[in-house]
Chains A and B, each alone.
Chain A
């Protein structure tokens, strides 16, 4: 059986949280803002709208998901340390994003 490195779980959680914060700051959809206007009456504008919507959702889900996931890992690591149990943790996959 592998020996749990609790600090590694904490580190993973911290990295996830940091990634979540940085993802929230990256505005990929904004870069497409002028594209629809640049090709007036073409086929592109409608497609741009769909991509913008998808990326908004994706970015939010990623940022929030990473942040939540990271917090869950940190919490799980803390639980292990408190209980000194190797194979337990409170991480709950049902934690809403």
Chain B
């Protein structure tokens, strides 16, 4: 019998467990051993002798921990392998004996004997291959057990010979650089504050005592900031705040330390520290350039950005305390709501969804309460007309409006953005405008007062734009269960936003460019459902019309055409937003056209004509409808801009209008003024030169004396001409997409020779010569080719669609 059969893997496993417990005890000594290091302040021969002795002891300690680690791993491996081997052997032995054979193991060899007597003569030959296989299993298992024994012996031998690599196996402290290992805990603490970059990257390898010491020190230092009581911008206080901010930001990357500091500070201490380190005066100028204030705010922000690991109870207390607390700012401003202290810190990445949505909800609740109490004035976030700001800095200032910071955080955390929008969204089916009006989401999108421009930007609506775009992010992993809404939260958010935004046509007039871009992003993300809303055959669309679009995991947004009819012109009134959405609709339509025209299973029976018809109904007319709405908005906005610009010029005088850079008067109105000047004063020659100087170098005020009254500026003709050119360009782009899709779908063998390449392909439309373009166009116009005539028919359908959608 093999000795292997008597081995006891359970004893090996028990030894591994006992050794693991011993290792835990050893590792727990790490703090004491580390604390036994001679302090650096002790110098001289005796101190050096002590250090030498300590290095030996410390190395021995680390060696011992490392060796135990190696043996534990080897014991575990051996126990597992041998246990499996013995089980395999038992199984094989049972199988052999089950066939009537007898089996003995001598040494590590396996001998099997067929069953005796009559039936054995008949069956034994049939069993032999199986017996051989089972015998092999046994010998393999014995070999595996032997190998495990040998591996364990080798591991033990390496330990006995002192060959274990301490740095790879030992206590976490071994991962520390030598210069850190040489420090006592107090010394390490000082270094952590003075040069956090040297310590923070190794925070996880520090002892529990060291980590606790750093946590406690960061807490007390930040509370000390709260006690400064003055604006800590310059001098010694400023340097101190910078140092604390640097250390806080560096160690905020360690989840344990960050959570510990937050817990020790508590919501009250956290807000106190943040309150003091705010730029309470606009006179401070830009606080983003690395000064103490901006640095400390960003450090506090980093501390808070724990993701969803942030303790929800702590976060709830934070928001509640902020909302219920009124602070006095160090500059004497009174009536600072705690949410204004908190808001700037919620910008950027990494915040918990629950924190962002709670803060956003609390801010809107506070606004509504204040507005209801005082009739709308003063603004809830500008107490007493104070001009102080709570800018966090970074990419965008926030003014005194705390929601801007929250929205910026949501823009970086799509789940939070989606949840916030859905929290505010009214229950509705997309067509019940009465429900949408007066909803919390309507307040956010339409009625709320936002900060004035900061640095030339509408920071509030820019943050809102990014939040809306994040809120409707498609969720490719959405997998609704039975009874769940087939629309993902992001899809439902898109529906709500469009429903609210499009519930009245008047909203278009007050729409800012950033918010228009936000709406455009929402529709661009769900552009298939924009087409679907205008497509009477949407329900009958073939499932494979555009792979990934027809039946996306995130479901379909049910946009009401009445809402789209209002939203699209509003978007079109802002050139950048309109251009972005127009481009996205073209891209979608092009994909649909190419997919359909090249052949779709359901449509192939009817051939090319059916495919063209389907493309017309499903993509082309909708493309035209969207263009018509965008064009209407564009034309209306251009006309309104022209009228306002002309009125401004006429009211204030042309040169003053030039100084303020008012739209059309600057670019188009120049010619008008020349005409006026020529008619009135015959000054065309000299005035033309003056105008050149004006445009190039600014206003020459002396020239205004040439006029005996304001000029009569009327640029309506120029504006209308320019608008028509722009809108023709938009139509032409759609036509090109259609034409190209048809051309690309034509079987190459059906193309004229002149449109084929030498290698049997087709000439790309973008690479056609003029002659080739004419050749294809001739086919399209003549209608002699069924392929090319389709391009003409579809382009006409697009134009019809544009008149349905708008008509400009």
Chain A contacts to B: CB under 8 angstroms = 1-5, 8-9, 11-13, 15-16, 18-19, 22-23, 26-28, 30-35, 37-44, 46-48, 50-51, 53-55, 58-59, 61-62, 65-66, 69-70, 72-73, 76, 86-93
Q: Considering the chains assembled together, what is the distance between the CA atoms of A15 and B44 in angstroms?
A: 22
**Quick check: B39 and A39 within 8 Å, CB to CB?**
no
- Contact of A2 (CB < 8 Å), options: B12, B26, B43: B43
**Quick check: A93 and B53 within 8 Å, CB to CB?**
yes
Residues on B with beta carbons closer than 8 Å to the beta carbon of A1: 43
Q: Mark B36-61, 1 if CB is under 8 A from A, else 0.
A: 11111111101101101110110011
**Quick check: B160 and A51 within 8 Å, CB to CB?**
yes
- Contact of A76 (CB < 8 Å), options: B50, B52, B159: B50
- Contact of B41 (CB < 8 Å), options: A2, A22, A32, A38: A2
- Closest Cβ of chain A to B338, distance in Å, is 42
Q: Mark B9-51, 1 if CB is under 8 A from A, else 0.
A: 1011011001101110110010011011111111110110110
Q: Considering the chains assembled together, what is the distance between the CA atoms of A27 and B40 in angstroms?
A: 33
Q: How many A-B residue pairs have CB under 8 A?
A: 181
Count B-side interface residues using an 8 Å CB cutoff: 60
**Quick check: A39 and B40 within 8 Å, CB to CB?**
no
**Quick check: A9 and B39 within 8 Å, CB to CB?**
yes
List residues 1-15 of chain B with CB under 8 A from any CB of chain A.
3, 6-9, 11-12, 14-15
Q: List 16 A-B contacts (CB under 8 A).
A: A2-B41, A9-B38, A13-B36, A16-B57, A26-B22, A28-B19, A37-B8, A42-B146, A47-B152, A50-B160, A51-B71, A51-B156, A55-B67, A65-B57, A88-B44, A89-B50
- Closest Cβ of chain B to A38, distance in Å, is 4
Given contacts A38-B7, A66-B36, contact A58 B18 (CB under 8 A): no
Residues on A with beta carbons closer than 8 Å to the beta carbon of B401: none
**Quick check: A66 and B57 within 8 Å, CB to CB?**
yes
Q: Considering the chains assembled together, what is the distance between the CA atoms of A23 and B11 in angstroms?
A: 25
Q: Considering the chains assembled together, what is the distance between the CA atoms of A8 and B32 in angstroms?
A: 13
Most chain B CB inside 10 Å of its own CB: which residue of A51, A53, A61 = A51
Q: Report the nearest A residue to B68, measured CB to CB.
A: A28
Q: Considering the chains assembled together, what is the distance between the CA atoms of A53 and B11 in angstroms?
A: 20
**Quick check: A46 and B60 within 8 Å, CB to CB?**
no
**Quick check: B41 and A8 within 8 Å, CB to CB?**
yes
**Quick check: A58 and B63 within 8 Å, CB to CB?**
yes
List residues 138-183 of chain B with CB under 8 A from any CB of chain A.
146, 149-150, 152-154, 156-157, 159-160, 162
- Closest Cβ of chain B to A3, distance in Å, is 6
- Closest Cβ of chain A to B631, distance in Å, is 78
Given contacts A31-B18, A31-B22, A90-B46, contact A8 B184 (CB under 8 A): yes
Asked if B614 is an interface residue, CB under 8 A from chain A, the answer is no
- Closest Cβ of chain B to A28, distance in Å, is 5
**Quick check: B149 and A44 within 8 Å, CB to CB?**
yes
Shortest beta-carbon contacts, A-B, top 8? A16-B36, A47-B156, A50-B160, A93-B49, A38-B11, A89-B46, A43-B153, A87-B44
**Quick check: B157 and A58 within 8 Å, CB to CB?**
no
Residues on B with beta carbons closer than 8 Å to the beta carbon of A55: 64, 67
Q: Considering the chains assembled together, what is the distance between the CA atoms of A26 and B162 in angstroms?
A: 20
Asked if B312 is an interface residue, CB under 8 A from chain A, the answer is no
Q: Considering the chains assembled together, what is the distance between the CA atoms of A58 and B146 in angstroms?
A: 30
Asked if B186 is an interface residue, CB under 8 A from chain A, the answer is yes
**Quick check: A39 and B152 within 8 Å, CB to CB?**
yes
Q: Considering the chains assembled together, what is the distance between the CA atoms of A61 and B59 in angstroms?
A: 12
Q: A16-B54, A43-B152 known; 7 other A-B pairs, CB under 8 Å?
A: A4-B41, A8-B186, A23-B26, A28-B22, A31-B18, A39-B12, A61-B60
- Contact of A47 (CB < 8 Å), options: B52, B54, B67, B160: B160
Q: Report the nearest A residue to B33, measured CB to CB.
A: A19
Residues on A with beta carbons closer than 8 Å to the beta carbon of B63: 58
Asked if B516 is an interface residue, CB under 8 A from chain A, the answer is no
Q: Report the nearest A residue to B20, measured CB to CB.
A: A31
Q: Considering the chains assembled together, what is the distance between the CA atoms of A75 and B371 in angstroms?
A: 73
- Closest Cβ of chain B to A29, distance in Å, is 9
Given contacts A38-B12, A42-B3, contact A31 B19 (CB under 8 A): yes
- Contact of B75 (CB < 8 Å), options: A35, A46, A54: A35
Q: Considering the chains assembled together, what is the distance between the CA atoms of A44 and B61 in angstroms?
A: 25
- Contact of A59 (CB < 8 Å), options: B64, B75, B153: B64
Residues on B with beta carbons closer than 8 Å to the beta carbon of A48: 156
Residues on B with beta carbons closer than 8 Å to the beta carbon of A16: 32-33, 36, 54, 57
- Closest Cβ of chain B to A82, distance in Å, is 14
Residues on A with beta carbons closer than 8 Å to the beta carbon of B78: 39, 44
- Closest Cβ of chain A to B593, distance in Å, is 74
Q: Considering the chains assembled together, what is the distance between the CA atoms of A16 and B316 in angstroms?
A: 45
**Quick check: B41 and A3 within 8 Å, CB to CB?**
yes
**Quick check: B71 and A23 within 8 Å, CB to CB?**
no
Q: Considering the chains assembled together, what is the distance between the CA atoms of A35 and B64 in angstroms?
A: 19
Q: Considering the chains assembled together, what is the distance between the CA atoms of A18 and B36 in angstroms?
A: 9
Most chain B CB inside 10 Å of its own CB: which residue of A8, A18, A31, A54 = A31
**Quick check: B35 and A15 within 8 Å, CB to CB?**
yes
Given contacts A5-B39, A31-B22, A34-B14, contact A47 B7 (CB under 8 A): no
- Contact of A26 (CB < 8 Å), options: B25, B49, B52, B56: B25
**Quick check: B60 and A58 within 8 Å, CB to CB?**
yes
Q: Considering the chains assembled together, what is the distance between the CA atoms of A27 and B545 in angstroms?
A: 73
- Contact of B60 (CB < 8 Å), options: A5, A65, A93: A65
**Quick check: A12 and B61 within 8 Å, CB to CB?**
no
Q: Report the nearest B residue to A47, measured CB to CB.
A: B156
Residues on A with beta carbons closer than 8 Å to the beta carbon of B153: 42-44, 46-47
